[in-house]
Amino acid sequence: MHASLWVFGYGSLIWNPGFPVAERRIATLEGWHRSFCMRSIHHRGTVERPGLVLALDRAEGAACTGVAFRVAPGAEAAALAGLRERELVSSAYLEMTLPVATGTGFVDAVTYVIDPDHAQYCRLTREAQARIIARAAGGRGTNRDYLWATTAHLAELGIADPDLDWLASRVRDLS
C-alpha cells in the first residue's frame, strides 16, 4: 500500500503535471502568492536572456489558489523523481510539504516555492515582467506561451488572478 502523494500546482503543473493523476481538487495555499519572481535560465529563458517563471513567494495575508493533484497509486516515487528533475533544475525552488485547503478539507501537498536568497529570485514591476515575458524563450518554449497557457487554464478552472490577466493582455500588446 502506498501513502497518497499530493502535489500543489499553481503554474505549469496545472496544465502539464507530468505524472499520472488520480484526483484533482481546486486548492488554496495561505501565506503565499503566485508571482513571476523567478528568472528562468533553463525552461523559458537562457543565461544570456533570462525569462521569468511563476513561483510562490511568501507574503503575509496572501493566498494562492491552484490545483491539488493526488498522484495515481503506485506512481508516487516516479512522480516525485520527475518533479524534482523538472522543478529543482537550478535549486531556485525549495521543495516543501504544505497544507492546502480543498473543498473537502486540507491535504498536505508537495509544493515548490521560491528561495528568496537565490540569485534567480527577483521582484519586478508588472511592466518589466511583461517586457521580459514578451521576448524570452528557453528549452521548453516561449515565455509568453507559458503565461498564456497558465492564464487560460486558470480561467477554465474559474480561478481569478487579475495580475496574470493584466500580464497576458500586456504581453499580447507587446508581441
Catalytic center residues: 87
SS3 78: helix
Find the distance separating the first CA and the last CA of the chain, reported in whole Å: 50
d(CA 50, CA 146): 14
Cβ(72)–Cβ(59) below 8 Å:
no
As a three-state string, the secondary structure of 125-160 is: CHHHHHHHHHHCEECCEEHHHHHHHHHHHHHHHCCC
